[in-house]
């Protein structure tokens, strides 16, 4: 694991060391000394002989002992030559603080490239540039200069130093948990998000990974790694740059390809990542997931003293899809035994003043509730932790007793308790005790509920995990000879798209349902084809020079009888020649008119950050007006295809509607999976658009298909693997 010597460096050179306290090169050394870094520190500056009592070296290569890591605090333009020197010394990694690279435009981008090449040459791994630094809190390797950052088991990976500072400050003030590492990813020029993920995934001292992301350059690799990591540890991620202004802001900040596409949210969740949108929830959810067991089943009890908070919590948890079932009658009976008659015992449980004389009744309730097999976890809301403040000081002792008991209950039952207390910020001793037992306490009811929601989400992800999700593309493996021939033909003709009959033929050769179209070159042939088909037909012009057939008057529908077909054929040819006199006309496609069914749309494309993705929606208003579509990163399994069809709001339409018959969802699933196969089989394809696909009670039919090839497709060398079997059809 080649990041080990970087993130666990035992010796560090500070390039740009300084005696001036306002300089980063002074502060860095001061911090390492103050924080008692366990390794060696080597100041580097040709103009100094010693800094803060440490011998200063002119160059890194002048240091007599081995150096794992260099912190480079000098300006952007100096970096390549410093890296050269570091390389010669055998330095394993460098933290580049300077900005002034990709985020400043083409010139900066070139400098970034130069720096990268130098690093590659010498095998130096880079953190940054444009980063606030990194910290290993286990060895006190603090290259950031944030003091008193609490130590703990959360690894923090952030594309903003400010956000890191926010989270560390929050942890300091509101929690007893802390961090194992912090990495400021910066421009992500060399080490990518997924590499950090892999490292922290393997780090035994890290229990959860907290990420703030503005944009990422290798989305698919990230998903692959996250998918592995989340099986072991939770990843909690906030992705900003959704809005236009947010994108602009992120771009000027890290030069990142910000504004992750609509597919990101679903893809992250499929990889088991807990996606957070409100920064207030980021640290608390990481804290909760790092220290409490996830919900084994999605059902929670709420325990309160009086109304208000319980009602609001019920609303918030319901919005999150967390179940709040009525407690088992035996559980209710046991609660009734210890609570006043005015108490509610169904769920939410309201002790109704039953804690006024002795708040340790909360622990008794918790014991009874968590013994109930149907209840996965407990949310306590309201005043607990502050009875001593609100009522009488003596109650504090009973709260302490309750806290000890609850600690034991959580351990015994392996079920989580999360506490909302309006006294959380007072850090009373009962609250400190709860936190000692890893029972998190928040003054925000919303945050406490979101933590329960995250425990539920993680629990059901792990439960439903079947190792079927797959973010690895096996290019060409499923390619067929016929398909390769079709694409080659198009490329040989200098085309970047397939003709309609080619597209359908490609789909058909992978088993997708396409109409039995016939390409004809004369009116006579058209009539013969129509007679063969029986019923009404459609005629469509086929020409590499006419992409938009309707605009060219090249489409005629619902034709019947010899006269009508002959006339239509003539008209189409005339219109096409008028539209583009020099058009290379290959003929006219005769298609049987398909029966009306439910129109669905299936599309695929290459996403900037994730590569091949697929889209599904119901045609017409649903897609065009309501943008009601679902996405998946490819490849997809049949299960995933099934699930993505349920994710659109208009999904009930697939089950039949207003007397219309239901759509054959199996047939649609098969088409989705076939599209996935095709995208994987032919890396030349940029985009497919199956619109419409008619879904029937039994079966489905691709009525029209458009396939666009990549600009660079001509330069791709199709590997004729043995697996590229001849089309069976």
Q: Site residues for a second copy, window 156-215 (CB under 8 A)?
A: 158-163, 165-166, 169-170, 173, 212, 214
Burial (CB count <10 Å: 0-12, 13-18, 19+), residue 698: exposed
Residue 339 in the binding site for a second copy (CB under 8 A): no
Residue at token pair 């695929």? 604
Alpha helices in 478-637 (DSSP H): 481-492, 500-509, 523-533, 562-579, 621-624
Single residue of 583, 650, 687, 710 touching a second copy by CB under 8 A: 650
- Shortest spacing between CB 473 and a second copy, in angstroms: 31
Residue 608 in the binding site for a second copy (CB under 8 A): no
Region near a second copy per CB under 8 A, out of 438-446, 455-463, 506-514, 685-693: 438-446
Q: Scanning residues 258 to 277, which ones bind a second copy (CB under 8 A)?
A: 258
Single residue of 56, 63, 260, 447 touching a second copy by CB under 8 A: 447
Residue 60 or residue 236: which is nearer to a second copy going by CB? 236
The CA-CA-CA angle for residues 720, 724, 729, to 5°, reads 135
Residue 217 in the binding site for a second copy (CB under 8 A): no
**What percentage of the chain's residues is helix, strand, coil (to nearest 5)?**
40, 20, 40
Rounded to the nearest 10 degrees, the angle between the axes of helix 665-681 and helix 500-509 is 100
Region near a second copy per CB under 8 A, out of 50-58, 584-592, 607-615, 617-625: 617-625
Burial (CB count <10 Å: 0-12, 13-18, 19+), residue 90: middle
Residue 279 in the binding site for a second copy (CB under 8 A): yes
Residue at token pair 């609490």? 150
Residue 344 in the binding site for a second copy (CB under 8 A): yes
Q: Report how far residue 618's alpha carbon sits from residue 649's, in angstroms, rounded to the nearest whole number.
A: 10
Residue 134 or residue 410: which is nearer to a second copy going by CB? 134
Torsion of the alpha carbons at 654, 657, 663 and 669, rounded to the nearest 10: 0
Separation of CA 2 from chain center: 25
Residue 324 in the binding site for a second copy (CB under 8 A): yes
Residue 147 or residue 474: which is nearer to a second copy going by CB? 147
Region near a second copy per CB under 8 A, out of 1-9, 604-612, 621-629, 709-717: 621-629
Residue 649 in the binding site for a second copy (CB under 8 A): yes
Q: How many residues does the chain have?
A: 729
Q: How many chain residues touch a second copy (CB under 8 A)?
A: 80
* CB atoms near residue 21 (< 10 Å): 9
Residue 45 or residue 132: which is nearer to a second copy going by CB? 132
Q: Report how far residue 184's alpha carbon sits from residue 227's, in angstroms, rounded to the nearest whole number.
A: 22
Binding mask 121-160 for a second copy (x = CB under 8 A): -------------------------------------xxx
Q: Report how far residue 557's alpha carbon sits from residue 591's, in angstroms, rounded to the nearest whole number.
A: 9
DSSP secondary structure string, 643-700? Answer: HHHHSSTTGGGGG--TTPPPP-HHHHHHHHHHHHHHHHH-TTEEEEEEEEEEE-SS-E
Residue at token pair 């290798």? 218
- Shortest spacing between CB 357 and a second copy, in angstroms: 8
Residue 597 in the binding site for a second copy (CB under 8 A): no
Single residue of 28, 44, 216, 238 touching a second copy by CB under 8 A: 238
Q: What 8-state DSSP symbol labels residue 352?
A: T
Residue 423 in the binding site for a second copy (CB under 8 A): yes
- Shortest spacing between CB 306 and a second copy, in angstroms: 5
User: Are the C-beta atoms of residues 253 and 211 closer than 8 Å to each other?
Assistant: no
- Shortest spacing between CB 163 and a second copy, in angstroms: 4
The CA-CA-CA angle for residues 678, 682, 684, to 5°, reads 130
Region near a second copy per CB under 8 A, out of 238-246, 534-542, 678-686, 700-708: 238-246
Residue 49 in the binding site for a second copy (CB under 8 A): no
* CB atoms near residue 27 (< 10 Å): 18
Residue 307 in the binding site for a second copy (CB under 8 A): yes
- Shortest spacing between CB 352 and a second copy, in angstroms: 8
Q: Report how far residue 533's alpha carbon sits from residue 516's, in angstroms, rounded to the nearest whole number.
A: 8
The widest CA-to-CA distance across the chain, in whole angstroms, is 101
Q: Scanning residues 366 to 395, which ones bind a second copy (CB under 8 A)?
A: 382-383, 390
Residue 139 or residue 249: which is nearer to a second copy going by CB? 249
Residue 85 or residue 112: which is nearer to a second copy going by CB? 112
* CB atoms near residue 65 (< 10 Å): 7
Residue 170 or residue 262: which is nearer to a second copy going by CB? 170
Single residue of 195, 305, 372, 704 touching a second copy by CB under 8 A: 305
Single residue of 23, 55, 77, 248 touching a second copy by CB under 8 A: 248
- Shortest spacing between CB 650 and a second copy, in angstroms: 6
Tell me the two tokens of residue 648. 């659109």
């Amino acid at each position: 694991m080649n990041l080990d010597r970087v993130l666990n460096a035992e010796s560090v050179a500070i390039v740009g060391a300084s005696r001036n306290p306002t300089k980063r090169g002074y502060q860095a050394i001061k911090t390492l000394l103050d924080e008692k870094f366990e390794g060696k520190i080597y100041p580097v500056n040709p103009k100094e002989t010693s800094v803060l009592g440490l011998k200063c070296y002119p160059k890194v290569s002048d240091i007599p002992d081995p150096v794992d890591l260099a912190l480079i605090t000098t300006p952007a333009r100096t970096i390549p030559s410093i890296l050269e020197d570091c390389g010669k010394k055998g330095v394993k990694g460098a933290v580049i603080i300077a900005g002034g690279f990709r985020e400043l435009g083409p010139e900066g981008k070139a400098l970034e490239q130069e720096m990268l090449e130098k690093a590659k040459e010498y095998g130096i791994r880079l953190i940054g540039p444009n980063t606030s630094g990194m910290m290993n809190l286990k060895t006190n390797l603090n290259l950031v200069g944030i003091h008193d950052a609490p130590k703990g088991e959360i690894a923090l990976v952030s594309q903003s130093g400010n956000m890191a500072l926010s989270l560390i400050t929050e942890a300091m003030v509101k929690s007893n948990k802390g961090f194992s590492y912090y990495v400021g990813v910066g421009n992500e020029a060399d080490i990518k998000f997924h590499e950090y993920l892999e490292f922290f995934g393997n780090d035994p001292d890290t229990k959860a990974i907290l990420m703030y992301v503005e944009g990422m350059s290798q989305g698919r690799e990230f998903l692959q790694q996250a998918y592995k990591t989340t099986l072991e540890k939770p990843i909690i991620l906030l992705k900003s740059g959704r809005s236009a202004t947010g994108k602009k802001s992120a771009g000027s900040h890290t030069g990142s390809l910000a504004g992750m596409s609509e597919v990101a949210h679903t893809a992250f969740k499929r990889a088991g990542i807990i996606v957070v949108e409100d920064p207030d929830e980021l640290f608390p959810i990481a804290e909760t997931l790092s220290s409490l067991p996830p919900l084994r089943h999605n059902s929670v009890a709420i325990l309160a003293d009086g109304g208000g908070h319980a009602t609001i919590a019920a609303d918030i948890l319901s919005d999150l899809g967390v179940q709040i079932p009525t407690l088992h009658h035996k559980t209710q009976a046991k609660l009734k035994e210890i609570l006043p008659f005015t108490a509610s015992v169904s769920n939410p449980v309201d002790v109704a003043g039953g804690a006024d004389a002795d708040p340790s009744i909360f622990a008794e309730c918790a014991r009874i509730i968590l013994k109930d097999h149907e209840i996965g976890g407990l949310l306590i809301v309201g005043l607990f932790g502050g009875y001593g403040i609100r009522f009488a000081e003596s109650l504090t002792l009973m709260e302490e007793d309750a806290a000890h008991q609850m600690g034991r209950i959580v351990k015994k039952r392996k079920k989580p308790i999360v506490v909302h207390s309006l006294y959380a910020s007072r850090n009373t001793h009962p609250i400190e005790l709860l936190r000692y037992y890893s029972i998190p306490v928040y003054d925000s009811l919303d945050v406490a509920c979101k933590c329960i929601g995250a425990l539920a989400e993680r629990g059901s992800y792990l439960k439903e995990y079947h190792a079927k999700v797959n973010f690895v593309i096996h290019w060409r493996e499923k390619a067929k000879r016929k398909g390769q021939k079709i694409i080659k033909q198009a490329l040989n003709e200098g085309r970047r798209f397939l003709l309609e009959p080619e597209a359908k033929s490609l789909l058909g050769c992978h088993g997708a349902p396409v109409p039995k179209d016939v390409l004809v070159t004369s009116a006579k042939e058209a009539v013969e084809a129509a007679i063969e088909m029986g019923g009404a037909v459609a005629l469509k012009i086929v020409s590499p020079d006419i992409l938009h057939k309707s605009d060219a008057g090249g489409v005629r529908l619902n034709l019947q009888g010899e006269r009508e077909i002959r006339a239509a054929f003539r008209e189409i040819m005339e219109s096409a020649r008028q539209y583009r006199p020099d058009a290379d006309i290959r003929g006219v496609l005769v298609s049987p008119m398909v029966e009306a069914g439910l129109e669905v749309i299936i599309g695929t494309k290459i996403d900037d950050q994730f590569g091949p993705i697929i889209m599904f929606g119901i045609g017409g208003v649903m897609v065009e007006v309501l943008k009601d579509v679902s996405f998946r990163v490819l490849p997809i399994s049949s299960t995933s295809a099934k699930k993505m069809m349920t994710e659109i709001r208009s999904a009930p339409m697939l089950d039949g509607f207003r007397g219309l018959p239901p759509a054959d969802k199996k047939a649609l699933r098969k088409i989705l999976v076939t599209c996935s196969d095709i995208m994987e089989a032919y890396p030349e394809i940029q985009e497919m658009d199956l619109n419409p696909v008619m879904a029937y009670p039994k079966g489905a039919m691709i009525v029209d298909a458009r396939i666009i090839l990549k600009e660079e497709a001509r330069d791709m060398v199709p590997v004729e693997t043995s697996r590229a079997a001849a089309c069976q059809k």
